[in-house]
A and B are shown apart, each in its own frame.
Chain A
């Protein structure tokens, strides 16, 4: 089932949570709503579920207007950040709840409910725990119970609020993979909220980057990572260095380095910012390119498969990072205090928040 959000706005008193949000979520995709705290992603998710009314705008499910439908009629599966399991019910009753509250005529028989609950327990790999209570389960197990409970009512799609936020790193990793497989198996549209860019890039078919109540960019993980549409997305997704400079005569000057760009404006000497990912910084002992700049190696961070260098530019004094493989690091046999030459392989320039093409 597809979801369409048209011009949704929402504020709480003086705080604006969502500003004129426009978004389409196609059927069957696994979509991440990604953004920092306060970006409005959870509000948007709750609005889709019908847990929060919109101030203006419309919500369509499969082209049908659901804006004024009650949460009970929307038929969405919602998994809460802290799971919101019913503590006084065992796992079986938790999962069966959505079926047992149906009006008598639509309610499945006891045998059918039992069958459905057990098949869901198999799906979430919690067979044998049907008569445990939520307090007796681990965080990861509770998360899966919450999922099974949401799936029991055969929802049109699944909405997950920070599904892995409360779990430790190892369990989070396992559950991510498991959710990915579950999505492939069920073919259900799934939307999840996260503030963890790694999680969004790893898991989602589509990433919706949000900031200050707006959708900043929508696209596949590759698109948003490789071609961020603005500085916010650039700096929010992955590590990035930025260098301040000025643009003049179709060239950006970042310290001693100059880069030719497509700049047709009358204005000259405008401030510009260059964004460079650490792995796009090439480091060598001697200047390899005309645009190489000298830098001093301040500190070496060993991160396992890669090595991260903290450097200071000799011309501007700006501190920045470079990343390289262990092998390359060994070849160069670098030490703190070394004088090096760096070449910026790929720089994205923004003037006043707009991308300038090279």
Chain B
């Protein structure tokens, strides 16, 4: 690596910029991240296994994965709907809606957390509507689901929107001239084309939801075995100075995240491949 990498053309600065990039990347990201695995590797296998298969840890993994999964599903369905409405229809306030889709990216998670907790608590604006039906949202897994849906909302919208925008309307016209109904055209022609983008957005939302901390801690109630998510458990272990436990759980999470990154890259590659074949 470094200077021996081939650089063609007459533009200068390759050595400098790639060198700086690699040094900065290594110092800030790669070395700190590898410490986590080094620390994990210094544990015995038994120690590691006992830590990560502890009942409370397993329960938190279950809570995290299930809520993140359902929230990502919710976002996949409504993300496609919002992207569709924004690309295809005209209605008052469209620009406002388009702009506010990114609110979860811009609003600090702690603010989102306390806002959602206050709205969905039993006497909050929305919480009391559900409370009338005997349903609790805040301080239950449903509350976690609500917070994770908020956090993941922009991902599917923003991955599907450009694909829909660039979509050749003539393909729909072709389906119509061949006798397909509107629903058939959507299900058999448009949806398969959007699928890689939807899956990319889904995976991004899922990955983000898995690691989310700030918006969840306020609304979840943080009850071990019930509403305790993995990042919170890591936090708790740290506060008890159980660094080994925190590190072991974190390394499992990190592996899951890297796996998601692979999945996301795969779907993105698929989206690009479809685009190339136009």
Contacts and interface: CB of A to CB of B under 8 A. Distances in A.
A3 B176 CA distance: 20
Given A80-B174, A82-B168, A88 B193 contact: yes
B278 A77 contact: no
Nearest to B177: A78
Interface string A91-119: 00000011001100000000000000000
B180 interface: yes
5 contacts: A78-B177, A80-B170, A82-B170, A89-B192, A153-B179
Nearest to A93: B188
B47 interface: no
Given A82-B168, A87-B193, A133-B277, A101 B177 contact: no
A71 B182 CA distance: 12
Given A84-B168, A84-B171, A86-B189, A101 B274 contact: no
Nearest to B178: A98
A135 to B, nearest CB: 2
A136 B274 CA distance: 11
Interface in B141-187: 168, 170-171, 173-181, 184
4 A-B pairs closest in CB distance = A135-B277, A98-B178, A84-B170, A84-B174
B266 to A, nearest CB: 16
A143 B22 CA distance: 48
Given A72-B177, A86-B189, A88-B195, 11 more contacts: A71-B173, A72-B181, A78-B173, A82-B170, A87-B274, A88-B274, A98-B180, A101-B180, A136-B277, A149-B178, A153-B178
B180 A86 contact: no
A278 B79 CA distance: 63
A101 B179 contact: yes
B27 interface: no
Nearest to A135: B277
A98 B277 contact: no
Contacts, number: 75
A278 B173 CA distance: 44
A313 to B, nearest CB: 49
A219 to B, nearest CB: 29
B278 A87 contact: yes
Contacts of A77: 177
Contacts of A84: 168, 170-171, 173-174
A59 to B, nearest CB: 15
A165 B174 CA distance: 18
Contact of A134 (B179, B189, B277): B277
B180 A97 contact: yes
A120 interface: no
B276 interface: yes
A139 B264 CA distance: 32
Contacts of A208: none
A82 B170 CA distance: 8
B177 A150 contact: yes
B185 to A, nearest CB: 8
A356 interface: no
Contacts of B189: 86
B173 A72 contact: no
Interface string A144-165: 0000011011000000000000
A88 B175 CA distance: 14
B198 to A, nearest CB: 13
Interface string A121-146: 00000000000011110000000000
